[in-house]
Amino acid sequence: MDKTHPYDKVFPVSWDQLQRDCRALAGRLVEGGPWTGVLAITRGGLVPAAIIARELDIRLIDTICITSYDWQSQGEASILKRPEGDGAGWLMVDDLVDTGRTARLARELFPKAFFATVYAKPAGRPLVDSFVTEVGQDTWILFPWDSTPQFVPPIAKTRE
């Protein structure tokens, strides 16, 4: 990775791995219901929310749209769209809790929601009620929607 980026490691997640991890999270959440619905934090939480809603047989899905960072930098979190209410009975889902900036805002808006993420980093982990996999704070999680498989030459050929 570019050394100007704050991440030293990359944790690539395939579509298959994401589905396995979402199913594992759903397995932990099944006893916590019944849920009113799933509240996906966009955009990262959309795919995990769909998988978890399927596994828990939940048909009501809504979104909270928060923007805080892109692939280059993290900025101030801002709300683009939010449902009404305090989150009581709702399962709030995101792909990742990183620094906790988005999670803190979501918690403020929906203090009574149960908050689950697929992946968690140490700085944000205390803000979620459940997660599947923890990675280091210095690790960039490369989600399948952010990457594409491509040819890589053999190591011997790169030295020629």
Indicate if the pLDDT at residue 4 is higher than 90: no
CB atoms within 10 A of CB 119: 26
Mean pLDDT of 96-123: 96
pLDDT band, residue 68 (cuts 50/70/90): confident
Mean pLDDT of 87-97: 97
Cα distance between residue 154 and residue 151, in whole Å: 9
CATH of domain 9-158: 3.40.50.2020
Instruction: Record the tokens describing residue 101, joined without a space.
Output: 């900036």
In this prediction, residue 49 carries a pLDDT of 98
Q: Which of 17-31, 69-83, 113-127 has the lowest mean pLDDT?
A: 69-83
- Per DSSP bridges, beta strands 74-81 and 61-69 are antiparallel
Nearest by Cα to 132 from 142, 143, 118: 118
Does the pLDDT at position 3 exceed 70?
no
Q: What is the pLDDT of residues 19-51, one digit of tens each?
A: 999 999 999 999 998 999 999 999 999 999 999
Q: Which of the four pLDDT bands, split at 50, 70 and 90, describes residue 159?
A: confident
pLDDT of residue 1: 43
The pLDDT, as a whole number, for residue 75 is 62
More confident residue, 74 or 114: 114
Residues annotated as part of the active site: 94-95, 98
Is the alpha carbon torsion for 6, 11, 16, 22 positive or negative? Answer: negative
- Mapped onto helix, strand or coil, the DSSP state of residue 109 is helix
